[in-house]
Chain A
């Protein structure tokens, strides 16, 4: 291969940088610019509140990455966001907007809790965990397959269906819990018997008190699997082709409908598996409304992570930091400021990424010419 890839005599090689560098530039520079823009906006916000940005940011960092508890909380929050972010990005790679992360996550958590309740207490974790995860993924997948089926069969738009399904599924779950499965005086199920995930503090006591648990490892593994599927497997080749150019995919013998069906269902599976973080790792029961917001924030995580599995992990970590940091700086500025900042980040990414990419490309063309 090295021999045949040697330059063919007489051919002019462009002086352009190697493609991987182009790739890396386009992947990293735009979100960093967006982050910078968001930081500046954050400064202005803090200043407008009469506080020193430096002091607030220092406090934010101390409260999140600066101590083991805070860091553990960041990791815990990042785990759920990683699942929902991966779910959204997986759909987007196929050109589909899955807004149903909210209900898929809840359904997954509910199924995991049910499985944990049904299994006898003596079930070893090595068996209980896969079963609970399977149940979570299945439940998310079932919720995800509804818009997938409606889209491929009737052409119903997945955005509408997933949004509507959020209401339906969450109401159903609420009815189940409130009517049948709750512990009196609460809105949650009894504690599960099997499938409890070890917390990080069980392994490293410095994380004491934080909710971070081994679901984090599962999230990272899922990201690796998603990456492998998207960029190494034939299914991923087809999926991305459909997302980029459905007409070309169809021409290439790829069944666009089948890819849509698969992508939305798998997106639901990933979101559903996110339910294990809260249910198996933290509270050990399903509680009504545990997923609130995490499903929607997954959209922002996917956007900021630029639909790349590893980018999504980073973005999840970043958003978790903001969310946890909001608690840390509460004494200086209201924690809602962090919500505002999250919004600013999302807008900055949405605006800056295409713009910076365009500038990068035109600069490259100029240097080529």
Chain B
């Protein structure tokens, strides 16, 4: 009886897998399962949802022992959720997890650690006031006579592991004295110390400088030689191509492909990551405006030699110059994390500028306040509506005046009647549902929340618009609508800076396209000359730019 149940479970799992296969062409799936009967990790048909959000929808993953496997996908594609399921931090709603051939679905974190799975998180989980050795032995301390921490033993253990793996670090140093790269080495040592043979690294290079990245690569290759299995979560394609043996691509909670690195190109990976499902405007190109806006010098947005220093003292935006003319959309493409966020925040006044100038219609605003920039004609659709764009507990009506408070108040008192009229007008213009200005923004769906932001930012008087990921997490109908609005604003002679992770969106809306790579504009080209392949090469840095 029991066996039969298990058997049918397998068949079901097999079906789910077959469905996954259906998502991509067969050639991308050299399924190794038959040749290697015991994959180190095998996850099939994983479903996991949080409330209304489905983070994983039948996702699958297969990693062979002794390989470096890259798990790639855009933010929110479900990579981290899948890894949390693997690590026992979450239980899947459906699906099956096997480690070394053993069914471990729904296990606990302790089980996962005991089975040799070690997850190195993006954010370090180290005690800064303790030494390296103390951190490593935390929870499994060697003790003399069962009571006193045997510090020398701990330090010796750490040294030995250090020399075996090439993760060189002095066991006596305090965590708080370490650089980020060194702290990460300690994190990796920590999981190895607990006997991990399957390592999962979540965005390990996000915080590292290029030399630190090279060191990390050396270590990971050495671990592979030792026979360890490594899963590398990343969305930087150059890393994937550099290091991995095989690649799993995820998009929107599903596994869309499993590819051998040697048999693919970065352009193909990028295409799979970004996907074609929402490409309703793929292949479309904007026509140049019939009646060009007279090019008065200095109108629009001008950025000159802008540099921004990030939290770690690294230049996240490095000497960037460009201008956006009235009636023009300049699209910025690029893999996320190459400085786009910082660039937009600096122009919006939310991040200090290290060097350079920002001008709106010829007026310098580099050090002005946010409110001052609004007055100068700046409007901004922020990339993160939950954090910046909306106050979730405020009503839709109140959110529609965020940043416009002073225009809706007299003698310091907000004119509730006018707020209401304004809300009702914007709600019907932008078809925000449910059409009730008194609902808290929190209660709206993601698409309608974004419409509130777009309605507010496009409804005000402005001459320059920053549109950052304007259609992220928005349904297809709303995407089309927001695109129409952006094009209408362009026709009215607004200067629009568009940043989007959706290559198709950038291609469909922009007059010119810039690619941002490692804090610089790698290239600026007219959209007519741009193709996905061309842009892709600049995005992953295989082609270096012409632009300063």
Q: Which residues of A contact B (CB under 8 A)?
A: 1, 4-5, 7-8, 11-14, 18-20, 232-235, 237-238, 240-241, 244-245, 247-255
Contact = CB atoms under 8 A, between A and B. Distances in A.
B370 A248 contact: no
B405 A19 contact: no
Q: What bracket does the count of chain B residues touching chain A fall in?
A: 35 or more
28 contacts: A1-B417, A1-B420, A1-B421, A11-B435, A13-B435, A14-B434, A19-B439, A19-B440, A233-B414, A234-B406, A234-B413, A237-B405, A238-B405, A241-B391, A241-B402, A244-B391, A245-B391, A248-B390, A250-B370, A251-B350, A251-B370, A251-B382, A251-B388, A252-B402, A253-B373, A253-B374, A253-B403, A254-B405
Interface in B283-308: none
B416 interface: yes
Contacts of B371: 253-255
Interface string B435-474: 1101110000000000000000000000000000000000
B190 interface: no
B380 interface: yes
Contact of A248 (B348, B373, B387): B387
B433 A232 contact: no
Nearest to B380: A251
B405 A252 contact: yes
Contacts of B406: 234
Nearest to A369: B52
Given A232-B413, A234-B413, A253-B374, A12 B392 contact: no
A250 B394 CA distance: 15
Contacts of A252: 370, 402-403, 405
Given A19-B395, A232-B416, A234-B413, 10 more contacts: A4-B424, A7-B435, A11-B433, A13-B434, A19-B438, A234-B405, A248-B389, A251-B402, A252-B370, A252-B402
A253 B438 CA distance: 23
Nearest to A234: B409
A5 B215 CA distance: 63
Contacts of A235: 412
Given A4-B424, A253-B371, A248 B402 contact: yes
B379 to A, nearest CB: 12
Contacts of B374: 253
Contact of A241 (B394, B439, B440): B394
B29 to A, nearest CB: 37
A106 B417 CA distance: 42
A263 to B, nearest CB: 15
Contacts of B402: 241, 248, 251-252
B163 interface: no
B222 to A, nearest CB: 41
B428 interface: yes
Contacts of B439: 19
Contacts of B393: 244
A76 B359 CA distance: 60
Contacts of A255: 369, 371
B436 A237 contact: no
Interface in B204-256: none
A227 B439 CA distance: 20
B413 A251 contact: no
B391 A249 contact: yes
A244 to B, nearest CB: 5
B424 A5 contact: yes
B67 interface: no
A244 B420 contact: no
B364 interface: no
A308 to B, nearest CB: 13
B392 A19 contact: no
A232 B370 contact: no
Nearest to A368: B443
A159 B413 CA distance: 31
A244 B394 contact: yes
B12 interface: no
B412 A234 contact: yes
Interface in B374-404: 374, 380, 382, 387-395, 398, 402-403
